[in-house]
Chains A and B, each alone.
Chain A
Amino acid sequence: MAVTQAPSPAPPAGPAAPRRRGRPARHKSDGAAGYIFLSPWLLGFAVITAIPMLMSLYLSFTNYDVLSDWSSTEWVGLDNYRQMFTEDPSFWHAVRVTITFALIATPLKLAAALGVALLLNRSFRGDGLFRGLFYLPSLLGGSVAVAIVWKSMFNGDGSFNAFLGWFGIEGKAWVNDPDYALGTLILLAVWQFGAPMVIFLAGLKQVPQELYEAASVDGAGPVRQFFAVTLPILSPVIFFNLVLETINGFQGFTSAFVLSGGTGGPVDSTLMYTLHLYNKGFTEYQMGYASAMAWVFLLSIGLVTVLIFRTGKFWVHYSDGDD
């Protein structure tokens, strides 16, 4: 390439310069670079999400048992699904336990999150500290440690009973009682309200002050303001939290696993769906059956989510800026 050359004029017109069709080359190369950058993620998604999911769908129609050679794995069609619905009493029991858990824990958790968010929504000294403290339990999320602490707190000689003792109430071994064990799990879930609380806080900050001013000019007290202003404006955030926490509630596993030592006891009172699935796959080696359970689970949660979305249009209020 010659260095000393006059800057070249505009490209000559004429047939020599072909018309570009479609996308300019520049975009093509941008796309290529983008995909190259994305490739680790794409690869990861394929290898550790998409392929295993398809694999489990396939396995759910087989009698795959983890330990045997592939050669002895047989296609059994819908047999796993039939067994699940007709021959496994524990399946329906687990469904009941899970629905009970999700139906009670989710609303309570959201109520607690919203209540505390309202309290923390004003400025006072040390508000940051309190926000942090209330958020802390959910940072410890589904951790094993929290579940172990919970287990010892609600034991017969645990601190919860010591606390009741101050009021002269005789406690019992809550975690060892089939009537109350699930209750302690629900309580644990409710206690971990930090994540929805933070989201509620963010939502509350979005409520325009002038609406409150207008409402108080109209003579609305704090209660009326809450129902007429705060809740409607907050409804998209409530909706978001509701969907998320419902899914979380259905998927509860760690605390039940730790509290019952993996058994779902006492007397299956804490046999969450996921726990039953895990035991089928890993202690009974019925991985085909467990895969079928997982797909039924996926579809069920999908259905519940769709239902929540359907109800959304009756109570979720999106302000479109001109009201």
Chain B
Amino acid sequence: MTATHPPRRRFLRTLVAGMLALPLVLGACGGDDSGGDDGKTELSFFWWGGEARAELTAKALDLYTAKHPDVTFKKTWQANQGYFDKLATLTAGDDAPDIFQIDDNFLSEYATRNVTLDLTSYQSDGKLDTTKFPEGLWKYGVVDGKLAGLAFGENTQGLVYNKSKLEAAKQPLPKTGMSWEEHIAWAQKAGPATGLAGTQDPSADYKAFWVWLRQQGKEMYNGNQLGFTAADVQAWFELWKGARDGKATPSADVIHEGNQTDITKQLVVTNKALTSWVWANQMPELQKNTKDELGVVAYPGDASKQWPRASMYFSVFRGTEHKDIAVDVINFLANDPEAGKILGTDRGLPSNLDVRASVAASTDNASMKQTIAAIDELSKNYGPSPSVPPRGHSTVRSELIKAAEEAQYGRATPAQAAEQFFAASQAAVSR
């Protein structure tokens, strides 16, 4: 031995260093453990929403566990902001949840990249029962001929207006079936009479643009192509430029506030305009944010051009180890009367019409009742539904906001803004 330290001390020092480092090293590469193999299954279930939704969802899933004691759930939820970032990241790590909530902004993005399980065979052998769904509704989950998601909740476009203010000023209420020109003329008169701006300018709103397009005999999309031309967009922008010039709308900076999707920023609840262009099922949520009484009607023009839209879907991850159980779970959530009662209309009107009827009968929430009645009323004369928006839809949406705001702020003519939007959305869908 030639070292200056006694060997024991050197050994100790190395050992201590190792012991200090060890937990850190182990902690850094801790993996995740998978479910047990004792006949029990744990499914991961991921959704966005608030506290209330989390409680309902947990309760409904617990009910499933009560009926199938060998199936438990790892429930994860979070606010909408950042949800899709997380879902994408999990998917990238091949660690996507077994069942996840998704909407029509992203359904095609996921389905065309083979992340979602094709549910068609389950549907045809009755394991996934859509017989009680409005047909247009479940079809709104089909991407490239595959059933990529089970429509969970129905909504449709709704023009929400401030009933109290209009009645106080003895102004007529907007009605389903008004033409766009009539609507703008109504706003020009009702605005000054109530002291609020007339109607929120929806030119940046893709759903209003889409409904208007369908009324012109066009579509937002044909398959993976745009179903409109730059001239259509220009006509749409010009319609609203006319409305702005005629003082039927608030000023551009106020319109911009309403262009955000946040419910609490909608002009009808911030009292900056008489109307907001939303989804009809958002009505109860809007009602919570204002003391005034609200009403809801269809968008102007031919209301049969609106369609039953899935407010969201549940999709099953294609790489899940428990395909059959996962499908059974979403089938249960959609069709079981008890589960339906628990979930209520939190995700839109229940897809299953029988469940919907029993929920409508048992609710005592006035605006909920009104919403269900309004959507049911509109659904009587729906024509055929469009297909789910293709890949690039979320980009198209934000490009529409950008271009419409250019026109709203007067930084571009309707023609220039239309050209810009058309080129950008063309690029987005053809990527």
Query: Hey, which bits of chain A sit against chain B, CB under 8 A?
Result: 17, 20, 25-26, 29, 32-33, 36-37, 39-40, 43-44, 47, 65-69, 72, 87, 156, 172-173, 176-178, 261-263, 265-268, 279, 282-287
Contact = CB atoms under 8 A, between A and B. Distances in A.
A33 B13 contact: yes
Interface stretch (B147-155, B208-216, B398-406): B398-406
Nearest to A69: B114
Interface of B: 2-5, 10, 13-14, 17-18, 20-21, 24-25, 28-29, 81, 84-85, 88-89, 91-92, 109-110, 113-115, 253-254, 256-257, 259-262, 392, 394-395, 398, 401-402, 405-406, 409, 411, 427-428, 431
B257 A176 contact: yes
A68 B110 CA distance: 8
A4 B392 CA distance: 86
A172 B115 CA distance: 47
Interface of B is mostly: helix
Contacts of B411: 178, 267
Q: Which 3 A-B pairs have the closest CB atoms?
A: A40-B24, A176-B253, A173-B253
Given A67-B109, A268-B402, A39 B114 contact: no
Given A43-B25, A177-B253, A267 B14 contact: no
A265 B402 CA distance: 7
Most chain-A CB neighbours within 10 Å: which of B21, B24, B427?
A: B21
A25 B91 CA distance: 50
Nearest to B87: A67
Given A33-B17, A36-B21, A40-B24, A67 B91 contact: yes
Contacts of B4: 26
Contacts of B401: 263, 265
Given A26-B3, A178-B409, A285-B109, A261 B262 contact: yes
Contact of A266 (B18, B113, B409): B409
Nearest to B398: A263
Contacts of A32: 14
Given A266-B256, A267-B409, A284-B394, A20 B2 contact: yes
A265 B404 CA distance: 12
6 contacts: A26-B5, A39-B21, A172-B253, A173-B254, A279-B398, A286-B431
Nearest to A177: B253
Contacts of B29: 47
Contacts of A26: 3-5
Given A36-B18, A39-B24, A173-B253, 5 more contacts: A29-B13, A87-B427, A263-B402, A285-B109, A286-B431
A39 B402 contact: no
Contacts of A282: 84-85, 88
A246 to B, nearest CB: 28
Contacts of A20: 2
Nearest to A48: B28
Contacts of A68: 113-114
Contacts of A178: 405, 409, 411
B25 to A, nearest CB: 6
A313 B369 CA distance: 74
B14 A25 contact: no
Contact of A37 (B21, B84, B109, B259): B21
Contact of A267 (B13, B20, B260, B402): B402
A179 B96 CA distance: 42
A131 to B, nearest CB: 36
B206 to A, nearest CB: 14
Given A266-B256, A284-B394, A66 B17 contact: no
A29 B395 CA distance: 58
B21 to A, nearest CB: 5
Contacts of B115: 67
A279 B85 CA distance: 10
Nearest to B257: A176
Nearest to A268: B402
A72 B115 CA distance: 13
Nearest to B28: A43
B398 A29 contact: no
A20 B395 CA distance: 70
Contact of B92 (A39, A47, A66, A279): A66
Contacts of B25: 39-40, 43
B253 A66 contact: no
Contacts of B395: 283-284
